[in-house]
Amino acid sequence: MKDQTIDPTDTRVYFICGVSGCGKSTVGRALSKKIDLPFFDGDDFHPKENVAKMASGQPLDDKDRKRWLTAINKLISQSEDGLIVACSALKEKYRAQLSEDITKKIHWIFLNGDFDLIYNRMISRIDHFMGPNLLQSQFDILEIPNYAIECDIKYSVEKIVQNIRIQTLQMKKQLGLIGLGVMGKSLARNFADKGISLSLYNRFVKGSEDEIAKNFIESYPVLDTAEGHEDLQEFVQSLKTPRTVFLMISAGAAVDDTIEKLIPLLDKGDLIIDGGNSHYKLTQERNDKLSAHGIYFIGTGVSGGEEGALKGPSIMPGGEPEAYAICKDALEAIAAKDINGGSCCGYIGKGGAGHFVKMVHNGMEYAEMQFLAEIYGLLRYSAGYDTDFIANLFETWTKTDLNSYLLEITIEVLRKKEDDIHLVDIILDKAGNKGTGSWTTIAACELGVPVNTLTAALFARYQSAFKEERQSAEKLYGKQFNKREIDLTSLADAYKVARIINHHQGIQLIYAASESYNWNIDMPEVARIWTNGCIIRSELMEDLKVKLKEEPILLKHATYVNIVNNGMESLRKVCSQAILSGSAIPCLNSALTYVETYINEQSTANIIQGQRDYFGAHRYQRKDDPIGPSHHTIWN
């Protein structure tokens, strides 16, 4: 396919040079087809005497070459159009003669290869006057032009032509994306749709991952101007400086391996963006490592799944402000838009701040999903409602301040059928997880922040994995469901309170990390970024972007104090009904336990402190002297 980016009035001259047998004519013809300029083989301009001399096994001397080079120079001088010429041009003085008085822009392309490779190619050539016995004489006089574009002939003709196009036509791309999985492909189409020129790279694995980028580009017209690569060096060379490389690969060792390969190919001031779900501490380590090389690093959360990546995700970038300035326009262009048209992307903070915020987002997401699953289970198995009734009930909630993206998709999940059977009744009840939920709980433990609902949701997933053990346990204990009536109004109120508690916990964890790591995270701005594109977008989040400016501690804001006060009895009632019916509601129960503890000044920790002091002399503070020295008692 002809390159549509080439100006049809192009008058440049492309000299393909190198020793005989290196592939000048083959590359020249392939380039001609790609950019629609005429190709001329320099061998066709040799006088008969030269051809006869080489055919007899004798190398040419400078006198022989003069008439030949003059003829090629005349061709170029008389041509009004651009053209491609294959000519050995082994010495600098030959190249000077070829380009003498030429006013057109000249590109020199030198095809480089080792002697044995070229010799073996020449042996297989048929009916060519230049025999392999003359190859050494060509290497003997070769003067490699340091100003030429050097192409290694070990690569395919297609790759060589692509390299020539990139370097001579200055088709440098604005952004390079590595990793063409589901999310990578969707983001690539999103970037291209916003007018951002792309180079795409996917690793080459013969038989399973070959020509992934090329085939992907050919499948979508929006990617017509994108470049596909399987060679990392060529991929990097195709990018404008400062280069921006976006990684959409599996978190962990693959990210480090790719970074190691990129470091020697990048320059100071270039930028690597990790858009996967990497651990925030690893993001900080990678930032420090790349900083030592003068390379910028951004660890960014990208939320919204496949559809969000394509149509507009919520993006949470963290790193140095200077690094974000490089990629700001591109990231904000592809992000979802909030209710006022603003981009759901914004600078989060230094180091691992972006990935930390995305991690907590996922932890909160676990709990939001678990709430709906527990309510479904309570209605289905304890109250005895059918799936359609539950879907219809949830639909009424979407007309209220309970509405959220997760509520909407849950309705669709409940209504989906396969052969007139609800699909949820066919899906195996073993929930998966990809690590961010557990990382959230671990981070909360390290920072000393209670995230009961997030952790309960995580452990509920873990426990679901023990399907076989649960099957055998049911045989031992029998089914535990006892049919009970569920107050649907109380259920809606309980759900509202539980969600507020869940959001409070996640937000407190982000605040704690921000203070501990000096990230200076703007939580109202994070809430705004979460109003669209991300999985936990909701009516509640629209409120939070405003309310958190008024009071950073959610459960102390007057609006939510009022909602929780009015809904506490409903949450207690629903949890009691669930317990008496034998329905497991770990997340709803954890929300209740958290808030009961939160709103009671007197806890039971005095007993814990007494116990600790008894067996370990860990000491304790006294109520009548709370800031004084600690105390120890001889208990026995």
pLDDT tens-digit readout, 310-337: 999 999 999 999 999 999 999 999 999 9
Query: Longest C-alpha distance within the chain, in Å?
Result: 117
Q: Which residues pair with 298 in a beta bridge?
A: 273, 319
What's the average model confidence in pLDDT over 529-547?
97
The domains of the chain are located at 13-163, 172-351, 361-598, 607-636
pLDDT at residue 3 above 50?
no
Q: Which residues pair with 274 in a beta bridge?
A: 247, 299
Report the distance separating Cα 495 and Cα 477, nearest Å.
30
Higher pLDDT, 105 or 218: 218
Report the distance separating Cα 530 and Cα 232, nearest Å.
35
For residue 136, the tally of other CB atoms under 10 A from its CB is 12
pLDDT at residue 10 above 60?
no
Burial 115-124 (b: 16+ CB within 10 A, else e): eeebbebbee
Least confident of 116-125, 215-224, 232-241, 381-390: 116-125
pLDDT at residue 7 above 60?
no
Q: Between the CA of residue 272 and those of 177, 275, 369, 602, what are the distances in Å?
A: 10, 10, 33, 50
Token pair 């651990």 in the structure block, residue: 279
What three-state secondary structure class fits 85? strand
Tens of pLDDT, residues 475-506: 998 876 778 888 999 999 999 999 999 999 99
CATH 3.30.450.40 fits 172-351, yes or no: no
- Asked about 496 being catalytic, the answer comes back as no
Report the distance separating Cα 41 and Cα 39, nearest Å.
7
- Asked about 211 being catalytic, the answer comes back as no
Q: Are 105 and 15 in contact (CB under 8 A)?
A: no
Q: Are 548 and 523 in contact (CB under 8 A)?
A: yes
Higher pLDDT, 126 or 456: 456
Report the distance separating Cα 458 and Cα 359, nearest Å.
13
pLDDT at residue 220 above 80?
yes
Q: Give yes or no on whether 361-598 and 607-636 have one common fold.
A: no
Report the distance separating Cα 30 and Cα 8, nearest Å.
17
φ, ψ for residue 539, nearest 5 deg = -65, -35
pLDDT at 401: 97
pLDDT at residue 282 above 90?
yes
Highest mean pLDDT among 1-15, 157-171, 184-198: 184-198
Kindly give, in sequence order, each residue whose CB lies less than 8 Å from that of residue 206, ignoring residues fewer than 6 positions away. Answer: none
CATH 2.60.40.10 fits 13-163, yes or no: no
Q: Which CATH class is domain 607-636?
A: mainly alpha
Mean pLDDT across the chain = 91
Which helix (DSSP H) or strand (DSSP E) does residue 273 occupy?
strand 271-274
Number of residues in the chain: 636
* Cα separation of the two ends of the chain: 91
pLDDT at 1: 33
Burial 434-446 (b: 16+ CB within 10 A, else e): eebbbbbbebbee
pLDDT at 4: 38
pLDDT at residue 308 above 60?
yes
Question: Could you say which of 230, 365, 374, 542 is catalytic?
Answer: 365
For residue 552, the tally of other CB atoms under 10 A from its CB is 14
**What is the amino acid identity at position 79?**
S
Q: Are 90 and 142 in contact (CB under 8 A)?
A: yes
Question: Could you say which of 185, 358, 545, 547 is catalytic?
Answer: 358
Tens of pLDDT, residues 555-593: 999 999 999 999 999 999 999 999 999 899 999 999 999
Pair of tokens at residue 505: 């916990």
Report the distance separating Cα 180 and Cα 202, nearest Å.
6
Kindly give, in sequence order, each residue whose CB lies less than 8 Å from that of residue 161, ignoring residues fewer than 6 positions away. Answer: 27, 30, 31, 34
Tens of pLDDT, residues 119-132: 888 777 666 556 67
Of the options 3.50.50.60, 3.20.20.70, 1.10.1040.10, 3.40.50.300, the CATH number for the domain spanning 361-598? 1.10.1040.10
3-state helix, strand, coil in the chain (%, to 5): 55, 10, 35
pLDDT at 125: 67
What pTM did the predictor assign?
A: 0.76
pLDDT at residue 48 above 70?
yes
Report the distance separating Cα 9 and Cα 183, nearest Å.
40
| Whole-number percent of the chain with pLDDT over 70 | 96
